[in-house]
A and B are shown apart, each in its own frame.
Chain A
């Protein structure tokens, strides 16, 4: 018992000398460049995937279950055979899985804001958009992982698209670019709502119906007229069509153009909005 305080006193004394050494030993380095700062924030995002893998699991397990359930339960009824439906469904679920992941960009940003760490970032002499852009880059890695999981599950179930590996990679790339555009919408929401769970709820309340009102699950020709009309103009349908086309090796250039245009428009509108809200928060 009696040795404990004495040991502590010695430790503190050593600390103070070490603290003074540590303080005096740093010349100020040149400021971090914009790219280096953004990449550092991307690195932070990836560390979080490693430390909090549950988030990634959440958004990948649901789509995997969808693939399994829909293929084997509804596949026969919808398309006449499970194999045929699987080939229709997998490129669509790839879209769903990756777009669902974008909601978490907003959740993560909101989580940051409710803690003190954003104050520190904002008091650093760094390029202002670096924290946002860096997180988005880190999230892109997440989108790629979520997409690869779905494609692999498809392959395990016997999905062998005509476009081969190249087609699959192209489809994944297009979906990830779309996700990058869409994620700015959720970061804007993330800065407007008060809690991470509110962002999560609002995000899925938007993305969930929008995904079901697309051609991800069924051919729109089977739907009632007005619904079919909506499904046909839903950008998620067009993205799913482009994804199917790229995987099958017969993609329509117009689909790809529309998908890229939507991503550009979303980024052009919501990226500046997010940046401005982030600055003011």
Chain B
């Protein structure tokens, strides 16, 4: 049993003249969430499709859970599951039928497949919608069903491709809760996302990918540190203490912004440590803090810092999956 869940070296995949993936190396440890962060068209989906054995790499190699993705594709398929960018469920079937279908395909008999479907529908809050056709589901419901479908038989490794893109904040939080629960039970997750916040919330390690290449790697903290400036947000229990808090912050950090919320204020700080020290001093000075956070630089800021160009989708670099029938 190797320590790494995914070990990829020099993966390349071209579509026509476009090198969608141009030499990607990945080392993903077992039992954690590993984030692959990048804008649309960076090559995230193509990388996932190679690792999930859907397409063969043009060059390079990868081992998933110790199995080669080309020569031992069956062994890989038996241990992973994929939740694609397009919801990978059948719209013309009901939610229950989708789960029973996958249970059967994964080797369950009819009765256990039905029982498993009922259990998952219940756990994912879809019991009421069980007999509705999936095409009538909301985006959040569809996403939850999609993830439920991926764990009909609990996989050792799960590929999640932009699981919260297009979801409202509440649905997004539900999906995050599910991901945390999966990891707590020992599943390794490769999470592709466009959102730094999502990677930061969930992932222990992150690879930033741009134009088919990994351009930075590290923990969320290292990544943000390399970007530089954070914003410290503080909310007070008592709005009357704001002037006092403003003094402390202004002394340590300089310019303080008073927010529209009468109990909130914020200030730019160079790193997390200085932010933490200020919060400690604030608490020590008798100000009652309701909440504080170090604001995240946006993906755009990360990209600007790492690549010198904004995270825009260059023409001709779409992920092929977005272009309808790839055949």
Interface residues of A (CB under 8 A from B): 8, 11-12, 15-16, 18-26, 28-32, 36-37, 40, 43-44, 47-48, 51-52, 110, 113-117, 119-126, 191-195, 277, 280-281
Q: Categorize the interface residue count of chain B.
A: 35 or more
B325 within 8 A of A: yes
Tell me whether B105 and A37 are in contact (CB under 8 A).
yes
In the bound assembly, the distance between CA atoms of A30 and B81 in angstroms comes to 16
Chain A residues near B125: list those with CB within 8 A.
11, 15
Q: Using A116-B85, A195-B325 as known contacts, list a sample of 12 further A-B pairs with CB atoms less than 8 Å apart, ordered by residue number in A.
A: A22-B151, A28-B154, A29-B153, A31-B106, A37-B104, A116-B89, A117-B91, A121-B105, A122-B53, A123-B54, A126-B105, A191-B327
Task: Spot the interface stretch: B180-188, B219-227, B268-276, B306-314.
Answer: B180-188
Task: Spot the interface stretch: B114-122, B199-207, B251-259.
Answer: B114-122
Tell me whether A29 and B108 are in contact (CB under 8 A).
yes
In the bound assembly, the distance between CA atoms of A34 and B126 in angstroms comes to 31
Chain B residues near A31: list those with CB within 8 A.
78, 106-107
Tell me whether A23 and B107 are in contact (CB under 8 A).
no
Question: Could you list 27 A-B pairs, sorted by A, with CB under 8 Å?
Answer: A12-B177, A18-B122, A19-B181, A21-B123, A23-B181, A24-B185, A26-B153, A28-B154, A30-B107, A36-B107, A40-B104, A44-B101, A48-B93, A51-B93, A51-B94, A52-B92, A117-B88, A119-B86, A119-B88, A120-B84, A123-B53, A123-B54, A123-B81, A123-B82, A124-B102, A194-B327, A277-B327
Chain A residues near B120: list those with CB within 8 A.
22
Chain B residues near A125: list those with CB within 8 A.
74, 77-78, 106
Tell me whether A36 and B104 are in contact (CB under 8 A).
yes
Within 8 A of A (CB), among B146-204: 149, 151-154, 170, 173-174, 177-178, 180-182, 184-185, 187
Chain A residues near B233: list those with CB within 8 A.
none
Tell me whether B82 and A32 are in contact (CB under 8 A).
no
Tell me whether B327 and A23 are in contact (CB under 8 A).
no
B28 within 8 A of A: no
B326 within 8 A of A: yes
Tell me whether A115 and B86 are in contact (CB under 8 A).
yes
Determine chain A's interface SS by DSSP, over half rule: helix
Chain A residues near B19: list those with CB within 8 A.
none
Tell me whether B97 and A47 are in contact (CB under 8 A).
yes
Interface residues of B (CB under 8 A from A): 49, 52-54, 74, 77-78, 80-82, 84-94, 97, 101-102, 104-108, 112, 116, 119-120, 122-125, 133, 149, 151-154, 170, 173-174, 177-178, 180-182, 184-185, 187, 324-327
Tell me whether A23 and B154 are in contact (CB under 8 A).
yes
Nearest chain A residue, comparing its CB with the CB of B74: A125
Identify A117's interface contact among B49, B89, B108, B152, CB under 8 A.
Answer: B89
* Centre residue among B89, B112, B181, B326 by max chain A CB count within 10 A: B181
Chain B residues near A29: list those with CB within 8 A.
106-108, 112, 153
Tell me whether B84 and A116 are in contact (CB under 8 A).
yes
In the bound assembly, the distance between CA atoms of A123 and B106 in angstroms comes to 11
Tell me whether A124 and B105 are in contact (CB under 8 A).
yes
- Known contacts being A32-B105, A124-B77, is A24 close to B154, with CB within 8 Å? yes
Shortest distance between the CB of A13 and any CB in chain B (Å): 9
Chain B residues near A51: list those with CB within 8 A.
92-94, 133
Identify B174's interface contact among A15, A25, A30, A117, CB under 8 A.
Answer: A15
Closest 7 pairs between A and B when the two form their complex, measured CB to CB: A116-B86, A18-B123, A120-B88, A29-B107, A125-B78, A22-B123, A116-B88
In the bound assembly, the distance between CA atoms of A113 and B326 in angstroms comes to 8
Shortest distance between the CB of A115 and any CB in chain B (Å): 6
Nearest chain A residue, comparing its CB with the CB of B101: A44
Shortest distance between the CB of B201 and any CB in chain A (Å): 15
Nearest chain A residue, comparing its CB with the CB of B327: A281
In the bound assembly, the distance between CA atoms of A104 and B177 in angstroms comes to 41
Tell me whether B92 and A48 are in contact (CB under 8 A).
yes
In the bound assembly, the distance between CA atoms of A19 and B144 in angstroms comes to 11
Chain A residues near B153: list those with CB within 8 A.
26, 28-29
* Centre residue among B52, B88, B133 by max chain A CB count within 10 A: B88
Shortest distance between the CB of B76 and any CB in chain A (Å): 9
Nearest chain A residue, comparing its CB with the CB of B155: A28
In the bound assembly, the distance between CA atoms of A53 and B141 in angstroms comes to 25
Nearest chain B residue, comparing its CB with the CB of A126: B105
Identify A16's interface contact among B84, B101, B170, B181, CB under 8 A.
Answer: B181
